[in-house]
Amino acid sequence: MQPANLTQIVLAHGSEHPDRPCLRFLRDDRWQELRWGAFTERVRAVAGGLAALGVETRDRVAIVSANRPEWALADIGAIACGAVVTTVYPTLTAEDTAFILAHSGSRVAFVEDREQLDKVRAVRDRLPRLERLVLLDPEARREADAHTLADLEAIAGEAAVEQAVARGLAADRSARLTVVYTSGTTGTPKGVILTHGNVLAIIEAVLAALGDHSRLQLNLSFLPLAHALERIAGHFMPLYLGRTVAYARSLDTVAADFVTIRPNYAVAVPRVFEKVSARILGEVARKPAPVRALFGWAIRAGTRRSELLERGAPVPLGLRWRHAIGDALVGRKIRARFGGRVELFVSGGAPLAAEIARLFHAVGILICEGWGATETAAPSTWNSPRAYRLGSVGRPLPGVEVRLAADGELEVRGPNVFPGYLDAEADTAAAFTADGFWRSGDIGSRDDDGYYYVTDRKKELVILSSGKNIAPQKIENALRRRPLVSNCMVVGDRRAFLVALLTVDRAALSAGHRELADVPAGDPRLHALLAGEVAAVNADLARFEQVKRFVAVEPDFSPEGGELTLTLKLKRRVIAARHRAALDALYETSETEAR
């Protein structure tokens, strides 16, 4: 029988295998574990504590925290008492945090530490429905307006805990599970309602596509849990399966944490793979010629093997031998950077370049790329280890319908699709077709074998003054793969040609051109190097797609600087406004001359 709700599944694991590790984390300078029996006991205590504070079924509870074991306790504990969890990125400003807390109507907010507590306190006068704050940091002390997590777990007796958990266990698949706010690249975020059924349906669909999942025992969680992809694939999925989640110490320590934790899989966005790929290729480029030749030979053998495996074709004996030698000399060393046990990576959030996916597969790491959105409980299509086409976003998951509208927009219908936006009936109505398909806003295509490809966002298409339609993501992805380019944005809507803003990968510049390591972005020597990178990309583009002019800008785009969302997508309006003078200067010369 299908489980009715997530609570039922998670609590059962505590009884079935209480001594199995559930969460792994660094605390007091050593890696520690919270086992399944202890985890579910604490989940029950959190549920009882929230009920004692007056939280009722369907009430909203917010979490304002980075990834940590207490995040999981707060999330599953709130769900276990029938509450609906709202997630808030801890890096959001006080203003943006206030908007989400107010719009969601959250009655209780779990905050990571004193810094987050003070941020919420600063906007408390705008949050009339927020009644309680709970500090997640185990070192925190109780304050006049804030409980500690330990306080919360202790305030309900056994009978009260049982009553609270009974509410969570009574939920059916139509019950609301969470409200996740979209990242807001172009406007005010909307609260996406996801039900137990939405999340369970997509987990069940992924498992059906995956087949044997027995080797995926441990994942490393480093993308923000406030993001739907990490929450579902890196949090709910392992908890559904009764497996183990390890938390990276921070984004800055992920590389070292991979080596220490040695996970079987992890969830990432394409930018992570782009940076790793650029770093590997940059290191190889600085090696002596024999080392470069060996690397190239090994990658060619791995690539040929990858292409045959992708088609389901047999691998000839000679190629198997060449690959085995290349793997021993090259592939194994690269896999060791990820701990040596990675079975697969899951990639989402944006299209991943086929050549990057091929490079990883050539060294023995399969990146299973998918496509979806918060509104579809993360993936709708996916490349599984059993059926994949590198460069695509895969085929529709079992039970999910995907189709192309007349203008190329991808539309989705299925049990994973959200019921609507919170308190936004007009937005909800506009998001669906008359026959119930959700309009994704993504433009794509489908090949003869049913694999889908995403080319751009519908609202981000550039239309030149000549009428040519251009997908800027395609060009931006190619530019970001160049060694010296850290990030970029292509501009040209209603203009005669394309221009670009580039930011410089200072580490790559320092490694290859030490004398230019600290020159400003406008230095003519740096501009000449970047011109070579742009020319290399233009060589593979149609003439109307080519970047005719560019300018290097500083600092690099970042979420902290406000140019990127917290999932590393460009905030185009923000970047364009911030660099308006530079963009205008690129078009000052006659557009006819530039062509």
Q: Is the pLDDT of residue 303 over 80?
A: yes
Q: Are 114 and 148 in contact (CB under 8 A)?
A: no
Bridge partners of 76? none
Residue 198: inside a domain: no
Shared domain check, 521 and 453: no
- Do 393 and 508 belong together in one domain? no
pLDDT at 511: 87
CA atoms within 13 A on the CB side of 241: 21
pLDDT at 512: 86
Q: Do 437 and 511 belong together in one domain?
A: no
For residue 468, pLDDT over 80 is answered with no
Q: So what's the pLDDT on residue 282?
A: 86
Question: What residue numbers bound the domain in which 66 lies?
Answer: 6-172
Q: Which of 161, 164, 160, 49 is nearest to 110 (CA)?
A: 49
Task: Tell me if 235 is assigned to some domain.
Answer: no
565 or 266, which is more confident? 266
More confident residue, 542 or 156: 156
CA 237 to chain centre: 15
Model pLDDT, residue 570: 87
Q: What is the pLDDT of residue 459?
A: 74
Q: Is the pLDDT of residue 281 over 50?
A: yes
Lowest mean pLDDT among 75-89, 472-486, 562-576: 562-576
The pLDDT tens digits for 309-325 are: 999 999 999 999 999 99
For residues 418 and 466, membership in a common domain is answered with: no
Looking at the fold, whether 379 and 495 belong to one and the same domain comes out as no
Residues 493 and 348 in one domain: no
Give the model's confidence band at 460: pLDDT under 50 very low, under 70 low, under 90 confident, else very high: confident
Give the distance, in angstroms, between the CA of residue 137 and the centroid of all CA atoms in the same chain: 25
Residue 411's pLDDT is 98
Phi, psi of 60 (to 5 degrees): -95, 140
Residue 153 confidence (pLDDT) above 70? yes
Domain shared by 360 and 418, yes or no: yes
Tens of pLDDT, residues 33-45 = 999 999 999 999 9
The whole-model pTM stands at 0.84
216 within a domain of the structure (yes/no)? no
What integer is the mean pLDDT of 225-251?
Answer: 95
Which strands form 438-446's sheet, in the order they lie side by side? 401-404, 409-413, 438-446, 452-457
pLDDT tens digits, 177-224: 999 998 654 557 899 999 999 999 999 999 999 999 999 999 999 999
The pLDDT of residue 519 is 92
- Note the residue count of the chain: 595
**Cα–Cα distance for residue pair 234/223, rounded to 1 Å:** 9
The answer to whether residues 401 and 483 belong to one domain is no
Q: Which of 458, 487, 518 is the last residue of a domain?
A: 458
User: What pLDDT sits at residue 595?
Assistant: 46
**Residues 281 and 388 grouped into a single domain:** yes
Between 461 and 146, name the one with better pLDDT.
146
The answer to whether position 187 is within a domain reads no
Same domain, 299 and 429: yes
pLDDT of residue 187: 58
- Please identify, among 115, 150, 172, the residue that sits at the C-terminal boundary of a domain: 172
Q: Measured between alpha carbons, how far is 391 from 408 in angstroms, rounded to an integer?
A: 18
Determine, yes or no, domain membership for 67: yes
72 and 46 in contact (C-beta within 8 Å)?
A: no
Count Cβ atoms below 10 Å from residue 367 Cβ, excluding itself: 21
Q: pLDDT, tens digit, for every residue of 508-532?
A: 898 889 899 889 999 999 999 999 9
Contact (Cβ atoms closer than 8 angstroms) between residue 17 and residue 53: no
Residue 37's CATH number: 3.40.50.12780
Domain count along the chain: 3
Instruction: Pick the last residue of a domain from 147, 172, 197.
Output: 172
**pLDDT number for residue 420:** 97
* HSE (side-chain half, CA atoms, 13 Å) at 577: 8
Q: What's the pLDDT score for residue 589?
A: 60
Beta strand 438-446 pairing with 420-421: unpaired
pLDDT the model gives residue 311: 95
- Tell me, yes or no, whether 223 lies in a domain: no
Both 558 and 454 in one domain: the answer is no
Two tokens, residue 352: 């991943």
CA 108 → CA 43, 100, 165, 190, distances in Å? 16, 13, 18, 20
Residue 537 belongs to a domain with what CATH number? 3.30.300.30
> Looking at the domain assignment, is residue 230 inside a domain?
no
Q: Within this chain, do residues 343 and 465 fall inside the same structural domain, yes or no?
A: no
Say what the pLDDT of residue 183 is.
64
